[in-house]
């Protein structure tokens, strides 16, 4: 177990913000997670639980304990009990500290499919269960069958099923009534054989056609998703960012139709008969923010949904930019947009 005082968190947030925490704890297996839970119970210190830091904006030093999982590894087995998989299907159980994209690559290499559209999403496996990460028409909740964890209040281990997590768009109980109550140790995903691609979202088909691919393999689809993401998203190792900063808002059909009349070119995605999802990045671009900066914080010049650290920005500067964008989108479209990133 790692236990360090006065610890820099710069390497643990992809914005590259230089802040410190009073104490840093990292656990490498379930036994160490139980010990960390004991420390949190008895220390009396405030604490936060982080993953890879790809969905995190730190605005100041944290005068408490920061906890992170370093549980690695994965294994395949057969599941026959989940309502998500009524027939026996392969499942993959992964350590919560495993890099999520490495797990996607490993599943494809093993001949188990489903996660291809989530390729190159940054962050750790544990965060996928908290955030319900998603991209290109696929969400983690479509595959998660179980989450194993340690309850901080008791030190007891437990496993919950998909239904208990109350997943929604970028939401789960881990972000609400379960926040800071559990240390996630493993996540189990239901996969499939054979490969059934999901191509009808965004520009996936167009990119495949550009490559001359009619019926992609799983690896070809994964590489295409990677190429699309690399073309429009900055590398956090070069330019500090947390990927998509805002959630795409979901509005009622009546509000959507009024906006569509005013903006016939507005992209949209139908959620159900009464709800429509509108890309926040499109609205931010229409407000003239793409490529602009506010001090040392800016909006990426190829994807307006991404806020970037131009160099030396503080978390507070990025928050100021976020709030300016929110005001302009509200004024122009009458829609509130909310950060997907956790601001601490």
Q: Residue 35: CB partners within 8 Å, gap ≥ 6? A: 1, 27
Residue found under tokens 């890099």: 99
Cis peptide before 11 (omega within 30 of 0): no
246-277: burial string, b at 16+ Cβ within 10 Å, e else: bbbbbbeeeebeebeeeeeebeeeeeeeeebb
Residue found under tokens 């947009």: 337
Q: Among residues 202, 256, 253, 252, which one has the least CA distance to residue 231?
A: 202
Residue 18 is among the residues annotated as catalytic for this protein: no
Residue 340 is among the residues annotated as catalytic for this protein: yes
List 26, 148, 244, 317, catalytic entry: 244
Residue 46 is among the residues annotated as catalytic for this protein: no
128-155: burial string, b at 16+ Cβ within 10 Å, e else: bbbbbbbbbebbbbbbbbbbbbbebeeb
49-85: burial string, b at 16+ Cβ within 10 Å, e else: bbbbbbbbbbeeebebbbbbbbbeebeeeebeebebb
List 170, 173, 222, 317, catalytic entry: 170
CA-to-CA separations, 294 to 102, 323, 343, in angstroms, rounded: 35, 11, 18
Q: Which two tokens stand for residue 339?
A: 């950060």
Active-site amino acid positions: 170, 244, 340
């Amino acid at each position: 177990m790692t236990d360090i005082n006065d610890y820099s968190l710069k390497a643990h947030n992809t914005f590259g913000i230089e802040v410190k925490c009073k104490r840093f704890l990292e656990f490498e297996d379930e036994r160490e997670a139980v010990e960390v839970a004991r420390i949190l119970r008895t220390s009396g210190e405030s604490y936060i639980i982080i993953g890879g830091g790809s969905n995190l904006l730190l605005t100041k030093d944290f005068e408490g304990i920061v906890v992170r999982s370093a549980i690695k590894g994965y294994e395949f087995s057969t599941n026959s009990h989940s309502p998500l998989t009524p027939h026996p299907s392969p499942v993959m159980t992964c350590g919560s500290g495993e890099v999520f994209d490495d797990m996607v690559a490993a599943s494809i290499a093993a001949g188990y499919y489903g996660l291809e559209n989530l390729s190159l999403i940054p962050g750790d496996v544990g965060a996928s269960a908290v955030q319900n990460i998603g991209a290109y028409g696929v969400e983690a909740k479509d595959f998660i069958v179980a989450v194993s964890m340690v309850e901080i209040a008791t030190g007891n281990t437990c496993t919950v099923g998909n239904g208990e997590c109350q997943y929604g768009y970028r939401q789960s109980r881990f972000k609400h009534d379960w926040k800071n109550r559990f240390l996630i140790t493993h996540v189990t995903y239901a996969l499939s054989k054979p490969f059934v691609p999901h191509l009808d979202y965004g520009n996936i088909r167009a990119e495949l056609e550009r490559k001359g691919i009619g019926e992609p393999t799983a690896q070809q689809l994964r590489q295409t998703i990677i190429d699309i993401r690399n073309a429009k998203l900055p590398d956090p190792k070069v330019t500090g960012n947390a990927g998509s900063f805002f959630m795409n808002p979901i509005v009622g059909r009546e509000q959507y139709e009024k906006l569509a009349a005013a903006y016939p070119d507005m992209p949209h995605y139908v959620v159900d008969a009464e709800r429509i999802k509108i890309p926040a990045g499109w609205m931010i671009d229409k407000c003239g923010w793409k490529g602009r900066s506010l001090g040392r914080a800016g909006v990426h010049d190829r994807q307006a949904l991404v806020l970037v650290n131009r160099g030396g920005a503080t978390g507070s500067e990025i928050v100021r930019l976020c709030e300016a964008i929110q005001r302009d989108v509200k004024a122009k479209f009458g829609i509130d947009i909310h950060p997907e990133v956790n601001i601490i």
